[in-house]
């Protein structure tokens, strides 16, 4: 199995996205309902960052922040690096 097959086996098309201004609670709900560990964060119609389960654990749970009052833009990893389509 080559790299292409490995990447395709874990990709979701279209990717699950959330808005820059969405709360971390709503991002976490998307992860749960789609059984995924990361959500692409969009701003102005383009990918601006990514929020992962680890981001939520470290930047919300560990920091004792309220996920209902914290926006995705506050905890997302950015800039994003993308792989070219094969």
The tens digit of pLDDT for each residue in 34-85 reads 999 999 999 999 999 999 999 999 999 999 999 999 999 999 999 877 777 6
Distance CA(13)–CA(6), nearest Å, equals: 15
Distance CA(13)–CA(35), nearest Å, equals: 14
Instruction: Give the domains, in start order, of the chain with CATH numbers.
Output: 15-75 (3.90.1280.20)
The whole-model pTM stands at 0.81
Distance CA(86)–CA(83), nearest Å, equals: 9
Q: Would you tell me how many other CB atoms lie within 10 Å of the CB of residue 9?
A: 8
List, in sequence order, every beta strand (DSSP E) within the chain: 17-19, 38-43, 46-52
The confidence score (pLDDT) of residue 44 equals 95
Q: What is the residue whose two structure tokens read 């920091």?
A: 63
Higher pLDDT, 3 or 81: 81
Higher pLDDT, 4 or 36: 36
- Given a cut of 90, whether residue 21 has pLDDT beyond it is yes
């Amino acid at each position: 199995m080559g790299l292409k097959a490995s990447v395709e086996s874990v990709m979701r098309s279209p990717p699950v996205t959330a808005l820059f201004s969405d709360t971390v609670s709503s991002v976490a709900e998307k992860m749960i309902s789609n059984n995924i560990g990361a959500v692409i964060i969009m701003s102005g119609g383009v990918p601006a960052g990514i929020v992962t389960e680890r981001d939520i654990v470290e930047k919300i749970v560990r920091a004792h922040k309220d996920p209902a009052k914290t926006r995705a833009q506050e905890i997302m990893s950015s800039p994003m690096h993308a792989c070219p389509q094969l």
